[in-house]
Amino acid sequence: MSNSIKLAILGLGTVGTGVINLINDNLDELKRRSGRDIIITEVGTRRQRDDIDTSITQNSDLMAIAASDNVDIVIEVIGGTTLAKDVIMQAIKNGKHVVTANKALLAEHGNEIFAFAEENNVHVAYEAAVAGGIPIIKVMREALAANKIDWLAGIINGTGNFIMTEMRDKGRPFADVLEEAQELGYAEADPTFDVEGIDAAHKLALLASIAFGIPLQFDKVYCEGITGITLQDVNYAEELGYRIKHLGFAVRRDGQGNSEDAGVELRVHPTLIPQDALLANVNGVKNAVLVNSHPLGQTLYCGDGAGAGATASAVMADVMDLVRVLGSKSGDEQNSSEKNNHGHHVPHLAFIPEQLSDTPILRAEQMITGYYLRVHAYDSPGVLADITRILSDAGINIDAILQKPAHKVGQVPVIILTLPVVESQMNLAIEKIEKLDTITDKVVRIRLDELA
């Protein structure tokens, strides 16, 4: 058995370069922990790099690298969902283990990729795809393996968290903070994936599948961004004892006796949470995931969610797991049909594939949350009574009401917090409120969760 494990790194951007630097910096530590020499034999890059060791083959043909006999593990950090998918499938076909940081690819095509990996007796590892350096995938697949996960909530996009933190702490408008986030490299030139919640939805799809043992279903994640959040709402939330965070939620619902309402909520949206909640105090570009499980209870995992160091750390954690799997086999066993089966590694989505559940994903109108409502009305008698009557008739319980001084002559903002209610009930109530002659604008709604 060879004492070396040969890696190919596809993509030499921030993450790929970070992986090379990590290996160079911690080479002795890696060998001490694994008992093997970990070497990079090939890198995939569109142009020749002068700063790459001459012993490493540089090649622009990624498909050839994925099939190379000189590679044991393929690290895919090129991104995207087209070429990356083709390369990973090629690597799997040729018996290579794969490590990827590509959350979009796995969220959209993971079911197919994982099934193909199972068929070919190799493993696709993806710790770096969710929350950067936080080992949340490993925690949920392994450390919480004996627990039943009831729900999880997470700050899983650093750009959005940076924007909401700056708006709250410095009173800066959304557009101003977004521009700075782009200048700092936290947001892309086209920030849509970050600010509209798509990036977080990709990650949530992965977390939910591991939590509940369901197939990946990114297309069923409810997704709402932060572009409509104003300083006015940030300040009102603070006054009421809450903070607004852009969160992803995966929640198991039992339907309370109604089987039609039983299922899983998958939702990404701005959320009011109590100021003293742990997630409320995770600021800047940090990520955090709060998991509520039985019997353990609530546990919080927090750290850097992006960047070369954090992501490279997660990539190499996966590599080390695979090195140990490869090292536990003799040469003959590695070539057998039993290579790296589930007797030697945790299943991709934590559950044995045959045991994945067909639990339905609930529709948006079935979701249950509390609400923050901002209603602008004429300052005339009976307005508040009309609003509260409509909410009461819809079966919506009010938790708090705040009436603010007029912003325009004769018009006042009324802030209402409600207890949890089914989304469809709130939709009907808002529709009726907006039809009142005394209401001057669309009702602003932001979901609210006590994280209890």
**Catalytic residue list:** 203
> Which among 301, 284, 283, 285 has a CA at the least distance from the CA of 293?
301
Q: Could you tell me the strand order of the sheet in which 97-100 lies? A: 57-59, 37-44, 4-10, 73-76, 97-100, 124-125
Which strand (E) or helix (H) includes residue 14?
Answer: helix 14-25
At position 196, the amino acid (one-letter code) is E
Backbone φ/ψ region at 341: left (φ over 0), alpha (ψ -120 to 50), beta: beta
Contacts of 429 (CB under 8 A, 6+ apart): 390, 391, 393, 394, 396
SS3 335: coil
Strands 444-448 and 262-274: parallel
**DSSP string for residues in 100-164:** E--HHHHHHHHHHHHHHHHHTT--EE-GGGSSTTS-HHHIIIIITTTSEEEEEEEE--HHHHHHH
Phi first, then psi: give them for residue 363, nearest 5 degrees: -75, 160
DSSP state of 413: E
Q: In angstroms, rounded to a whole number, what is the distance separating the alpha carbons of residues 232 and 104?
A: 33
Q: How many CB atoms lie within 10 A of CB 94?
A: 16
Q: In angstroms, rounded to a whole number, what is the distance separating the alpha carbons of residues 335 and 215?
A: 29
Contacts of 408 (CB under 8 A, 6+ apart): none
> 295, 147 in Cβ contact below 8 A?
yes
Q: Give the burial string for 17-44 (b: 16+ CB within 10 Å, else e).
A: bbbbebbeeeeeebeeebebebebbbbb
SS3 210: helix
> Which among 308, 300, 302, 246 has a CA at the least distance from the CA of 273?
246
